[in-house]
Amino acid sequence: MTSNLTLALLQLPVGADVSLNVRRAVEGITQLKAENPELQLAILPESFNAPYGVEYFAKYAESIPDGATCRALSRLALQLGLYIIGGSIVERDAGKLYNTCTVWAPNGSLIGKHRKIHLFTMNIEAAHGGGVQFDEGAALTAGSELTVVKIGQHKVGIGICHDKRFEELARIYRNLGCSMLVYPSAFCICQGPMHWELLQRARATDNQLFVVTCSPARDNMSGYVAYGHSMIVDPWARVQREAGEGCEFIVEQIDFDMVEQVRRQIPIHQQRRTDVYAKARADS
Ligand SMILES: *[C@@H]1O[C@H](CO)[C@@H](O)[C@H](O)[C@H]1NC(C)=O
Ligand SMILES: *[C@@H]1O[C@H](CO)[C@@H](O)[C@H](O)[C@H]1NC(C)=O
């Protein structure tokens, strides 16, 4: 079993036309697979099928797995024989809405469904780059489960955007045996320059695994301007690949042996002093 994985990040533009957004994703993955037969995994951005904004969530919500977007991803995974981490869409279930990532196996079956656990809540003052208020909780319900999928032999933990700010979630994924974390994300341009790369490299430093994000392309005219900069960070916490701001596709091979190498050479996990922490911990 090879420890290499070839993956693609599709930093796609997202507009108001759902079928156009989905067609761009399908055509993009199809083109990349034709050009790179070794491609095993394609990753899409958060909210890749519809505009992102509290006022849009109910309008664009679909059911999982029988909605039109899911059926397109399932068919595509089967047709091309690859895994797809389907960014996120707004899911409607039993009268509630969730921001949900679906994961598809090469046989077209749904192998994971992650509902964003930490809803995006932010009130940035104007002094910090223009000012942004956002509260996903006004329209969405938070997920309450972690999501680990197997991509080939490798365990991968899934989070969505704001989830990557929460180091405990990443640590639990690491303890569950994950060697990669994938966060489809749409950071705004005010938090992006400060925290996008920093958070991704922080999660990689702490947990010694690959950390991958995929953003929509930036559109200055959109109501919510996504940062771009989709990125692969390696287990040494180095940026292995980074997109710019516009529409861009990245294809990259990663080597999972690097996870074991880093953990052996800097064995912080074995050095943890859980006895000391337990004694000192004020909360649970
Ligand atoms: C499809 O693939 C997944 C993951 O490899 C596997 O768990 C599942 O049983 C397969 N489903 C079918 C119908 O073969
Ligand atoms: C968006 O605006 C920024 C600065 O205002 C500019 O640097 C960038 O090129 C623009 N991007 C696009 C895709 O128009």
Phi, psi of 240 (to 5 degrees): -85, -40
Mode of pairing for the β-strands spanning 4-11 and 248-255: antiparallel
Phi, psi of 99 (to 5 degrees): -95, 110
| Residue 100 CB partners (closer than 8 Å, separation 6+) | 64, 88, 89, 90, 91, 113, 114, 115, 116, 143
- Residue 125: the pLDDT is 79
- Residue 124: the pLDDT is 77
What pTM does this model have? 0.95
- Residue 79: the pLDDT is 98
C-beta 105 within 6 A of ligand 1: yes
SS3 category, 267: coil
- Rounded to the nearest angstrom, the distance between the alpha carbon of 220 and the centre of ligand 2 is 6
Ligand 2, atom 5: closest residue by C-alpha: 220
Q: Indicate the top mutation candidate among 78, 83, 109, 111 to test ligand 1's pocket, ranked by most ligand atoms within 8 A of CB.
A: 109
> What does the chain come to in residues?
284
- Residue 282: the pLDDT is 74
Give the C-alpha distances (Å, rounded to integers) separating 192 from 41, 44, 129, 199, 245: 25, 18, 11, 10, 11
Catalytic residue among 161, 178, 190, 214: 161
Give dist(CA 86, CA 47) in Å, integer: 9
C-beta 153 within 6 A of ligand 1: no
- Rounded to the nearest angstrom, the distance between the alpha carbon of 156 and the centre of ligand 1 is 17
- Number of structural domains (the chain) is 1
CATH number of the domain where residue 223 is located: 3.60.110.10
Residue 241 belongs to what domain range? Answer: 4-283
- Residue 270: the pLDDT is 94
Cβ proximity of 53 and 11 under 8 Å = no
Digit-by-digit pLDDT tens for the chain (284 residues) are 579 999 999 999 999 999 999 999 999 999 999 999 999 999 999 999 999 999 999 999 999 999 999 999 999 999 999 999 999 999 999 999 999 999 999 999 999 999 999 999 988 777 666 667 889 999 999 999 999 999 999 999 999 999 999 999 999 999 999 999 999 999 998 889 999 999 999 999 999 999 999 999 999 998 889 999 999 999 999 999 999 999 999 999 999 999 999 999 999 999 999 999 999 987 66
Give dist(CA 232, CA 183) in Å, integer: 11
Enter the tokens of residue 105.
Answer: 């196996």
> Does residue 161 have an active-site annotation?
yes
Give dist(CA 185, CA 208) in Å, integer: 21
Cβ proximity of 78 and 107 under 8 Å = yes
